[in-house]
Amino acid sequence: MARTANVTRAGFMYHSTLGGAPAPVPVPKQVATTYATALYPGDVVKLVSDGSVAAAGAGDAFFGVVSHVIQYRNADGVLVRNGRYLPASLSYTADTERSLVAVIPAFPFVVFEVDADDGSTATTIAAHRLFVGENANLNATAYTADTGLGLSGMALDISTHAVTATLQWRIHDVLDQPGNEPAVTAFRYLVIGNYTGTQLAGSPALANIGVGI
């Protein structure tokens, strides 16, 4: 799907925290050598069995959201730091050259903002507000990711909105900002990870959400 006129940012973006909680500290996470999918800031990721992270899809338990790329070894063997995105199928051997992204854990007090993936499920502000308190799934391929700007293509699958507890994201509110108009597709929401469906449920210490990078 091409990007629509109201898409102000791409993917999921940290917005705020609830109840005076401290701002989240991103944690460094490894991406497996030759992993076949590019990762972008704003992508939702999940932990996999080897301890690395991979792109999450609809219905997956997930860990958090990529905030930025830390480093990767490119096809020419050059170690790139702070790249716009992490290209697919990168190969590395040395531990110091492994692919790393910084991830904001989706704890239940962390609010993200994200575009909806259509403009037809609701067409008025009043209709959008009716979804607050409901849940919705991720659409991992809503838009075409932008390699030049490093923009994620992920969005909220707003047509899945329901009280169903197993859906991935809780709709916390609509984003109050100029230009967030319901008449244009890709209305922007504030969302919180549906905690029981994340890979953080049962985490022993919400206060210790990560280490500095």
* Coil/strand/helix, residue 197: helix
The pTM of the full predicted model, rounded to 2 decimals, is 0.89
Residue bearing tokens 């929401």: 189
Reported confidence tier of residue 198, pLDDT bands at 50, 70, 90: confident
Q: Residue range 165-170: average pLDDT?
A: 93
Q: Which helix (H) or strand (E) holds 128?
A: helix 125-129
Sign of CA dihedral 195, 200, 201, 206: negative
**Closest to 46 in 3D by CA, of 160, 140, 157, 172:** 140
Coil, strand or helix at 211: coil
Q: In this predicted model, what pLDDT tens digit does every residue of 96-107 receive, in sequence order?
A: 999 999 999 999
Which pLDDT band, with edges at 50, 70 and 90, does 186 fall under?
Answer: low
What was the pLDDT predicted at 206? 44
What pLDDT, on a 0 to 100 scale, did the predictor assign at position 185? 56
pLDDT at 79 over 70: yes
- Calpha distance 136→194 (Å, rounded): 9
Confidence band of 58 (pLDDT split at 50, 70, 90): very high
* Domain limits, the chain: 13-19+108-197, 27-105
pLDDT > 90? residue 10: no
Query: pLDDT tier at 183 (50, 70, 90 boundaries)?
Result: low
pLDDT band at 202 (very low <50, low <70, confident <90, very high): low
pLDDT reported for residue 208:
42
